[in-house]
Chains A and B, each alone.
Chain A
Amino acid sequence: MNFIKLCVAGVVAILVLANVAFAVLPDEMLKDPNLEARARVISQDLRCLVCQNQSIDDSNAPLAKDLRIIVRERLTAGDTNEQVFAYVVARYGNYVLLKPPLQTDTLVLWLMPFALLIVALGTVAFYLRKRPQFESEDGIEPDAEIPRR
């Protein structure tokens, strides 16, 4: 039992400690807690271009660090969050946004899930309606219990 407890404690410790491992270094942080909070929110939505599925807030890449510092400089200079995003997008394109904006060239991206849902529901409705309710075509009664897979 003690061994299991030890294992659980170990796993908990790993999970907790893993969360402490920020990429944002203390010397990057702004003194103003409001600005720092905004910087964190912004950098969590900016893609690191080096390790592409991480935000710059998560990434240890040098470029991500540079961009984090730029985000903070822009905020200190009085930019709104939108202006900071615009600053980075002007250099790296919409690709840096982890939440792509809704515009003409991203319509497919945004509408595809809904289109697929409609197609899927339509297909299900079509097959359910076509299928005989209680009898199969050869007249044999289907099993009352459908085996679960």
Chain B
Amino acid sequence: MALPALGFAGLAGVFALGLRSDPKLIPSPLIGLKVPKFDLPPVKGKTLGLSSTNLLGEVSLVNVFASWCVACRAEHPIFMRLSQDKSVPLHGINYKDAPDDAAKWLDTMGDPYTRTGADLDGRVAIDWGVYGVPETFVVGADGTIAYKHIGAVTGEVMSNTLLPLVERLRKGAAA
């Protein structure tokens, strides 16, 4: 008698767990691997482009953004604050943006990036396993992708997840 009820409870439990996980967050197979080889020219009006060798030697954040992306607008102030603190270098990969739009974005809203790469056809982003903007990667000093945040970075994500990870990576590299 109790068996069907138990079975139902079990299934309901599994489904409840399933409801908690967000199907939009797809785990990346690139975590723990070296960043893909790439070499991007700078966004229009900027001088420093971004390539895989630029990501060696120091822990850094890499943010994939576009001027047409609404969530990027939401996370932009967080990055502006980060760049003022100078706690960790932040690089940008500008995904499938019109050069003028990207330049206007950085000019009017501020440029938090140390280096920017203009990924006009989105191929480099595909090599990074990007499937939507914004995405933000934490890259170790040896060029290993340590973490990927999908969606807009909030102040909470920055101070509770990304920055502590940056600290851990720095300590790990020093030890």
Taking Cβ atoms with an 8 Å cutoff, the residues of A that contact B are 49-50, 52, 62-63, 66-67, 70, 89-95, 123
Contact = CB atoms under 8 A, between A and B. Distances in A.
A132 B29 CA distance: 57
B142 interface: no
Interface string B6-28: 00000000000000000110111
Contact of B27 (A50, A89, A90, A95): A95
A90 B96 CA distance: 22
Contacts of B127: 91
Residue of A67, A91, A95 with most chain B CB atoms under a 10 A cut-off: A91
B29 A91 contact: yes
A66 B126 contact: yes
B122 interface: yes
Given A49-B26, A62-B96, A123-B3, A91 B132 contact: no
Majority SS of interface residues in chain B? loop
Contacts of B38: none
Interface of B: 3, 23-24, 26-30, 96, 121-123, 126-129, 131-132
Majority SS of interface residues in chain A? helix
B33 to A, nearest CB: 9
A94 B29 CA distance: 8
A92 B122 contact: no
Contacts of B132: 49-50, 63
B93 to A, nearest CB: 15
Contacts of A49: 26, 131-132
A52 B128 CA distance: 19
Contacts of B27: 93, 95
Contact of B26 (A70, A89, A90, A93): A93
Given A52-B23, A66-B126, A90 B131 contact: no
Nearest to A126: B3
Contacts of A90: 29
Contact of B126 (A50, A52, A70, A89): A70
A91 B38 CA distance: 14
Contacts of A66: 121-123, 126
17 contacts: A49-B131, A49-B132, A52-B23, A63-B132, A66-B123, A66-B126, A89-B29, A90-B29, A91-B128, A91-B129, A92-B28, A92-B129, A92-B131, A93-B26, A93-B27, A93-B28, A95-B27
